[in-house]
A and B are shown apart, each in its own frame.
Chain A
Amino acid sequence: MRGYAGKFLEIDLSSGAIEEKKVPDSTLKDYIGGRGLATKILWDTLGSKWESVDPLSSENMLLVFTGPLTGYFPGTKICVSGKSPQSNGVIGSTVAGEFGIDLKCAGYDGLIIQGKAEQPCYIFICDDHVEIKEASPIWGKKARETVRFLVKESLREIKDIKPGYGEVIEPSFLYIGPSGETKTRIAAVTSKYAHAAGYGGYGGVMGAKNLKALVVKGFGPVPDVYDKEKTLNLVQGFLIKNFERERFRRWGTGAGGYNFGAETSSEPIRNWQEEWHQEQSYKGEEFDKYWVKRNWGDFGCPTTCLKVSVLKSGKYEGALCDNPDYELESYLGTNLGIFTPEKNIYLSYVSNELGSCGIQSGAVLGFAAELYQRGILTREDLDGIALEWGDVEAFAALAERIATRQGIGDILSEGIYRAAVKIGEMKGLDVLKYAVHEKGVAIGAHGVRSGRDYVTTNPIAYACSVQAGDHTSGADLPIGHRHSELFSIMGDSAVYCFFAAMALDNRDIFDFYEAVTGWELTEEEWYQEKALRILQLQRAMLLLGGPDITWKPNRDDELPPRFWEPLPSGPDKGKSLDRTAFEKSKLEYFDAAGWNKNGVPKPETLHNLGLKDVEVKLREASLIS
């Protein structure tokens, strides 16, 4: 077995049991790692009782997986998964950082975490030394304090394990903030200060396990690959292709806050009431003024599209964050009527400190602000906060209440969809029409109405995705090509950075996979069999859902109501989606995925892919008659 460390670590926080686990080669060949393998393990372990498993209970699992491409591939991620408290399905949520590298250097391909600790804890791994440690000093603490503690404590402990070694590179961490501890559904699993596995809401899953952080230090090498010469040749080619992308390296996605609004009309403005703006104050150059590092990357990264922003003076002195990237520029900026880089950096910092996902929290804040604009939520409802568009301090105050579940924050902490249902009941009004989400997941900052956004060229992108609102995993036709969800499944399963892969040719990733693992994988095999199998499992678990919400196939494979309104401003003013074309694409997609006209996997599809048990389960749940 090449490209893999060869074993997983299974940790039961209820009993304290720690065991090494091997996954058979045949399973790895079919499901690869990351999202694919997590889906398979979740199905095998929880599938039979899926509907009754509360994602925010000890019964859920937290899976933190690398893939065979984590290591040599230039651009590193780690995939976090479990039953999602947002969609009630499975979401593979990736985050950059060195965690995957350290994990593999320590000898593990992934962590399978079960149960719930009695007291707040964190898991410390240094090669074969694995320990569940008390987290009381950092429980309740925000990002900055948590990171400072973990660096100091872990280095002290590693010095004891390796006396006389000399200086040691600090270990890698994944952790949660207050937002995860209070089990909000918008909590991220964070790496560094602001790299977040946000989609899915796995910060809350960690909180439900009383698990504050994962710390790993590996002293070994990255696992050997099958064909080193071929692998290194491919790496060199990939590096050069990425080095040539000067514009992307210069700006990352950090110029999108202006560009996407002004050029492609697909940016959320004031809770998606508009998707266009032309605020010159929000241009990339205005953000650049705050960048203290213009090229920031994680292990092996050739693009270094991240930037480090710091406010060194003024009212918000001390704020520090990544970029912000396009998603945060919009969700914690334009979506809240904020067009000032300084305020956007500050709010991104606040959100990161709290451990809330910038997209999910920006979406729920924008939703609340629109209800305030319409007089549905009053200042009294909002615990005295006047939630005016553009008022960064009002949004920061509300973000804090959400992460700590105080007052109105308790309702909003349930995420945009569930909050809308609750507020609708309270007020006796339909407020769901203002909630821009897909199956409980606030969607990425990429609108579909103009048809000009690079990730949502097909309006079914969110409606048909098994990861719902995840803009990095949109559905598209034809189903078997690199802009489809099946290619995203490759990225999240082999676990590499899809930004670094953008410069590559279609076949490159498959060549790389073969060079690393020594296992053959044709594109046909991937698109027609393996990826399709993972897709069926994710679709089945998404439809089974529960326990609080069960999505109805076809009816809920729908866009948020707002997206059916015509665009109100900008060069695309008046443009709206064609319902007939949308329904046609949807049916075409269902068919290509092997689903019936309601979007349920067909028995023959499941048979052909060897998933008879899925058919049995879907019959039990009356999804197949």
Chain B
Amino acid sequence: MDQDDQFWIERSYENCSGCRRCEISCSLYHEGKIWPEASRIRIFMLVPGIEIPHLCFQCEDYPCVEACPEGALSVIVETGAVKVDVETCTACGLCITACPGNVPHLHPDGSSIVICDLCDGEPQCVKACLEGKWNALTLLPREKGISHKMLAATPKELTRKVANYMLGEKTTKEVLE
């Protein structure tokens, strides 16, 4: 695998059932436990019925990697994912601020930052989602020249956008502060 084989996870927010089997698969793979807050993909439901799968957007310029003062973040060339060196990471949180979607978060044990590493090429969340025929997460080749950073947004921004589309603007105003 080289850089041309990089891929990324496309998300279709309106298809997300909120079943969180992606969180379950991710945390079982990375932590050996079902652990929603330690999952690298997390489902936000700021408005019941509007579920937002939130994980690394793989910005082409990787502002999180740039922002890390310790050099603890790097790009895995084969997949395009961000790797966190847990030994070096001081959990300072500068990468969170640098991320246009506020994606990185602390591991709930407080030791380091967690970011999606694409499971070394076989993302467990996508597998779980497709197995259940929800099709909210799909794996696509990472096309050169397409900006994924443009899609990056915080859970709240995404909720507003998806709610406006799904519920209509009138309802969205009433349900989302």
A residues neighboring B (CB under 8 Å): 71-72, 74, 98, 101, 105, 144, 147-148, 151-152, 162, 164-170, 192-193, 218-222, 224, 228, 232, 239, 243, 249, 292-293, 295-302, 304, 308, 310, 312-313, 317-318, 320, 322
Contact = CB atoms under 8 A, between A and B. Distances in A.
Nearest to A152: B177
A320 B167 contact: yes
Q: 10 tightest CB-CB pairs across the interface, nearest first?
A: A166-B105, A192-B48, A221-B35, A221-B33, A222-B34, A219-B108, A308-B49, A304-B17, A297-B19, A312-B168
Interface in B112-141: 131-134
Contacts, number: 138
Most buried by B among A72, A249, A296: A296
B20 interface: yes
Interface in B31-63: 31-38, 42-49, 54
B10 interface: no
A72 B34 contact: yes
Interface string B158-177: 00000000111011001111
Contacts of A320: 49, 167, 171, 175
B106 A318 contact: no
Given A167-B42, A169-B36, A221-B27, 12 more contacts: A101-B36, A105-B36, A162-B106, A165-B106, A167-B154, A192-B48, A296-B18, A300-B19, A300-B20, A308-B49, A317-B168, A318-B171
30 contacts: A72-B34, A105-B37, A162-B106, A167-B42, A167-B54, A168-B105, A169-B42, A169-B44, A170-B44, A170-B46, A193-B48, A219-B37, A239-B131, A243-B131, A243-B133, A293-B14, A296-B18, A297-B19, A299-B20, A299-B36, A301-B17, A301-B19, A302-B21, A308-B49, A310-B168, A312-B167, A312-B171, A317-B168, A320-B49, A320-B167
Contacts of A297: 17-19
For the residues of B in contact with A, the DSSP-based class is: mixed
B110 to A, nearest CB: 8
Given A147-B48, A222-B35, A164 B167 contact: no
A165 B91 CA distance: 9
Nearest to A302: B132
A289 to B, nearest CB: 14
A147 B33 CA distance: 30
B134 A295 contact: yes
Nearest to A193: B48
Contacts of A193: 48-49
B89 interface: no
B96 interface: yes
B166 A310 contact: yes
B87 to A, nearest CB: 19
Given A299-B19, A318-B174, A320-B175, A221 B34 contact: yes
B28 to A, nearest CB: 7
A169 B170 CA distance: 25
B171 A304 contact: no
* Among B19, B48, B171: residue with most chain A CB under 10 A: B48
A32 to B, nearest CB: 20
A214 to B, nearest CB: 16
B88 to A, nearest CB: 18
B175 A144 contact: yes
B34 A148 contact: no
Given A151-B46, A293-B166, A165 B20 contact: no
B80 interface: no
Contacts of B19: 297-302, 304
A318 to B, nearest CB: 5
B118 to A, nearest CB: 20
Instruction: Kindly name the residue among A169, A220, A313 whose own CB sees the greatest number of chain B CB atoms within 10 A.
Output: A169
A299 B37 CA distance: 13
B24 interface: yes
Contacts of B102: 166-167
A224 B33 CA distance: 7
A301 B23 CA distance: 12
Contact of A170 (B45, B105, B132, B175): B45
A78 B164 CA distance: 31
A578 B153 CA distance: 64
Contacts of A168: 37, 105
A166 B177 contact: no
Contacts of A165: 105-106
Contact of B93 (A151, A166, A222, A313): A166
Contacts of B176: 148
Contacts of B47: 147
Interface in B81-98: 91, 93, 96
Nearest to B95: A166
A310 B171 contact: yes
Contact of B132 (A220, A224, A243): A243
A74 B19 CA distance: 9
Contacts of A151: 46, 177
A304 B51 CA distance: 13
A424 B145 CA distance: 76
A507 to B, nearest CB: 24
A166 B175 contact: no
A300 B37 contact: no
A292 B167 contact: yes
Contacts of A101: 36
A310 B45 contact: no
A148 B28 contact: no
Nearest to A167: B102
B177 A148 contact: yes
A71 B167 contact: no
Contacts of A299: 19-20, 36
Contacts of B17: 293, 295-297, 301, 304
B18 A298 contact: yes
Contact of A300 (B21, B105, B106, B133): B21
Contacts of A243: 131-133
A292 B166 contact: yes
